[in-house]
């Protein structure tokens, strides 16, 4: 297991280098002059050449592209992601402040989606070709087809504007009470979870149908075991092995999907930080936040691969 984890960690290094290079290069070919942004002017004709060159040198923009990229990598490896052009704050500190909100939203959405998809997926498989199977399959297909932001807007209109039951924006804090904390979390997490639950329901249904037709399940039933023992002790456990692999990718994908959801619900996470930085051409913040999200995505995938290997003893970790 240790060799496998080490090999997976080493495989992450070239991936991170490619991702960081793409992030760094794409930003510097987009329209906009960071020097003019720092000086508070959208037009360089109002800036003296001396001032322009001085600020350009302070930002390190007078260096060749590859030199700037290597400086970015070396500093990032030491935890230095630069200073925001707008707030003048350390980018890493801003990300560290907002990351808990993003992780809180992501994991609550994943938990909610699993709580919805597991019973529905099992029910659809056990009632194969019945009215329940048709209804759940239809709902899952609709849920997969609709975008996450659409769910968010509908939830806001229904539960916040029409019924007035839940807040439509902001985050709740434990200091304000558990009720306020949960109320603020329900709509954004549900917005992310509904589409994800639809995908998981279809996967669990398909995986359960495949496992239920296996010989060992038929043998367990022939021994006279209770149906609950057959379903949850044999079929469900083995049907979740391929599902867990996909759940890891979806959990990492939620970090990216949370960008839109955080903007809609004014959730103070990393996604909203990136959106605000893009609108203001705050390059260090965009680079740092995107890189941190990519690293988080890779770490989650590594954790899922390890869990998958532990659950399935047949996998050879050479």
Q: In this predicted model, which residue has the larger pLDDT, 175 or 31?
A: 175
State the pLDDT confidence band at 315, using cuts at 50, 70 and 90. Answer: low
Tell me what the pLDDT averaged over the chain comes to.
80
pLDDT at position 43, please? 54
Q: In this predicted model, which residue has the larger pLDDT, 46 or 63?
A: 63
pLDDT at position 41, please? 60
Q: Do 166 and 160 form a contact (C-beta atoms < 8 A)?
A: yes
pLDDT at position 7, please? 75
Q: Do 201 and 136 form a contact (C-beta atoms < 8 A)?
A: yes
Residues 6+ apart with CB under 8 A from 230: 217, 220, 221
- Read off the pLDDT of residues 166-224 as tens digits, 9 standing for 90 and up: 888 888 877 777 888 888 888 888 888 888 888 888 888 888 888 887 877 777 778 77
pTM of the model: 0.77
Burial of 118 (0-12, 13-18, 19+ CB in 10 A): middle
Domains of the chain with CATH codes = 91-311 (1.10.3720.10)
State the pLDDT confidence band at 71, using cuts at 50, 70 and 90. Answer: confident
- Read off the pLDDT of residues 95-123 as tens digits, 9 standing for 90 and up: 888 888 888 888 888 889 889 988 898 88
pLDDT at position 312, please? 60
Which of helix, strand or coil describes residue 212? helix
- Read off the pLDDT of residues 232-243 as tens digits, 9 standing for 90 and up: 777 777 777 777
pLDDT at position 153, please? 86
- Read off the pLDDT of residues 249-296 as tens digits, 9 standing for 90 and up: 777 777 766 778 888 888 888 888 888 888 777 888 888 888 888 888
**What CA–CA distances, in Å, run from 199 to 118, 141, 235?**
11, 8, 20
Asked whether residue 42 carries a pLDDT value surpassing 60, the answer given is no
């Amino acid at each position: 297991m240790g060799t496998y984890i080490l090999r997976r960690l080493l495989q992450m290094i070239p991936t991170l280098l490619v991702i960081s290079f793409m992030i760094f290069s794409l930003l510097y070919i987009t329209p906009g002059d960071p020097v003019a942004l720092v000086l508070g002017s959208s037009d360089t004709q109002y800036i003296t050449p001396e001032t322009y060159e001085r600020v350009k040198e302070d930002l390190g923009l007078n260096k060749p592209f590859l030199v700037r990229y290597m400086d970015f990598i070396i500093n990032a490896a030491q935890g230095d992601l630069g200073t925001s052009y707008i707030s003048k704050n350390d980018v890493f500190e801003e990300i560290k402040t907002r990351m808990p909100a993003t992780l809180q939203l992501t994991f609550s959405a994943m938990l909610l989606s699993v709580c919805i998809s597991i019973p529905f997926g099992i029910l659809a498989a056990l009632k194969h070709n019945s009215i329940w199977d048709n209804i759940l399959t239809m709902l899952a297909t609709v849920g997969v087809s609709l975008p996450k932001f659409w769910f968010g807007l509908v939830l806001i209109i229904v539960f916040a504007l029409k019924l007035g039951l839940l807040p439509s924006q902001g985050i709740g804090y434990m200091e304000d009470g558990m009720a306020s904390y949960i109320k603020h979390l329900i709509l954004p997490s549900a917005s992310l979870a509904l589409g994800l639950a639809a995908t998981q329901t279809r996967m669990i249904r398909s995986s359960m149908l495949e496992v239920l037709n296996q010989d060992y399940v038929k043998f367990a039933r022939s021994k006279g075991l209770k149906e609950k023992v057959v379903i949850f002790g044999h079929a469900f456990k083995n049907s979740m092995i391929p599902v867990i692999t996909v759940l890891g990718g979806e959990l990492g994908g939620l970090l990216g999907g949370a960008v839109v959801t955080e903007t809609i619900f004014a959730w103070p996470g990393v996604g909203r930080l990136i959106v605000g930085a893009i609108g203001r051409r705050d390059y260090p913040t965009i680079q740092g936040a995107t890189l941190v999200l990519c690293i988080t995505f890779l770490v989650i995938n590594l954790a899922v691969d390890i869990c998958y290997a532990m659950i399935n003893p047949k996998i050879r970790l050479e």
